Every structure is written in C-alpha cells, then in structure tokens.
Amino acid sequence: MSDKRYFSCLLIGEPGSGKTTMAATAPKPILFLDLDNKLHRMVNLEPMLASKDIIQWTTTAPLAAIPLKRLASTKFDEGRDKFPVPQPKGYIEFSDMMDKLTTDQCVVDGRKVETIVLDSYTSLNEHLKALIMAANGSMAMSLPLWGVLLRNFEILHGVMLRLPANIIFCCHQKIDKDELSGAISYRPLIDGQMADKIGKDFEEVYYLEKRIEGQLVKYEVLTVGSAMKACRTSRILPARVEADFSRIYK
C-alpha cells in the first residue's frame, strides 16, 4: 500500500459560488462523482474533460420511480400493502461506483485517479432518502428512518475517506435563523444530524463566496470559522484565500 499522503476537504457554498470549479483545481486526474449531472455543461471545464484530466461518472436515475401524478395524490397514511414503492436507482448506482473504486483501488481506465470529488453531497442525500423511504414503503421520513440515514452516511464516509486518493465533498449551504436570538448561521444543506456532524470527518472545511468588484468576479475560500460559518483549516493559511487547490497545496 502506498504511503502517499492524501487530503480530505469539505466545500460548502451556495449554487454558483465556485465549488465545482475549485474542486477541478485539485491534483489530477480527477474523478467527479457527478450526482448533480452538470459537469458536461460547464464550459470552463470542457478542456479538462476533453483531455481526460477530469473523468465524469454520473447517474441518470430519477429521484423517484413513481409517476408524478401518483406521487402528488398519495396519502401519507397509505401503507406498503396499498402503495408498493418501486426502488429508485440513484443511490444504488452510486454504491456500484464506490464498490468499483474500492475493488480497483481508484484505477480508472488504466490510470490511477489522484482526486475523487463527490458533487454534490446534497444530491446524494436526496437519492439516499428516496431509497430508504422506498425500501420501507413510506412516503415520509420517520424517526427510525432518520437513524438509518445517519448510519448510511457514517458508513459512506468510512469507505470514501479510506480510498487512496484526495477526497473532496461539495455541499450546498442553507441558512438557519435562531428563533430566540435571531442569529443567522450557515450550515451544509443536509438532512438530519449529519448536517452538524459532517465537518468532523474532514481535515479541511471551507466555505466559498463569490464577490463582485466592478466588472470582475472573484471566488474566494473562507478558512477560519466564525459563529456564522463553521469552517476550519489545519494549514497555515489566511482567513480568506483564492479558490484554488494548487495554491493551497503547493
């Protein structure tokens, strides 16, 4: 087994803040597990896709295997006997990707992948919830099912973070407001307890921001945490740096 040191990083930010573009600056070749199914539509990444510096694996499976009309008209008290739920394929396809990476030790098409990007964790969250509800014949998450969701996330982290590659998770953000104090905070857009726990598994946790200065747009990373954003770094970095892994890991 190689003793090469790899890094793990969680990127959090609103849509359009530069998470995917920053992930594409990591050591190459980069394998994107593109659950947002958008990489091939990003013009700025076309050259790296063409040169195979970036490899895209995606799922085309819908979140639900139920017709929209049937889904909208379903009563919450319908049990499995009345409403058999077909299992959606998105998370199953993702699990197959993980099995292949584990078996092949991150070798894809004859090349060792240096970085694996999960883009996005927020979409993975939706695929996993859909599968859990379908497997239990439910149209809504219950308290026991939230526990199943959390356990699946914990196992997934253990599998991915042991792969011989740099691991980057991209996650959308949500805004929380404390009902008593009115204080605003930003958190990963993930359901259940994992929204508060996910940062513990990563060496680096960065929030991305897009700043507009005149005619220029700047994408920056926040590395030092605050009451609003729980970012952190184990490296000697300024509180705000350019969104470029090649400058952070020189």
Torsion, Cα 231 235 238 239, to 10 degrees, reads: 10
Residue showing tokens 């087994």:
1
User: Is it the case that residue 230 has pLDDT exceeding 50?
Assistant: yes
Tens-digit pLDDT profile for residues 170-180: 999 998 888 88
Q: What's the pLDDT score for residue 227? A: 79
Give all domains of the chain, ordered by start, each with its CATH number. Answer: 8-248 (3.40.50)
Predicted confidence band of residue 166 (pLDDT cuts 50, 70, 90): very high
Q: What value does the mean pLDDT take over residues 195-213?
A: 90
Predicted confidence band of residue 204 (pLDDT cuts 50, 70, 90): very high
Predicted confidence band of residue 63 (pLDDT cuts 50, 70, 90): low
Q: What value does the mean pLDDT take over residues 140-147?
A: 90
Give the C-alpha separation, 146 to 148, whole Å: 5
Is residue 231 within 8 Å of 206, Cβ to Cβ? yes
At residue 119's C-alpha, the angle toward residues 109 and 227, to 5°, is 145
User: Is it the case that residue 208 has pLDDT exceeding 70?
Assistant: yes
User: Is it the case that residue 1 has pLDDT exceeding 50?
Assistant: no
Lowest pLDDT segment from 67-71, 214-218, 231-235: 67-71
Closest CA to 31 of 57, 51, 9, 8: 57
Residue 178 is given by DSSP the state -
Mean pLDDT score of the chain = 88
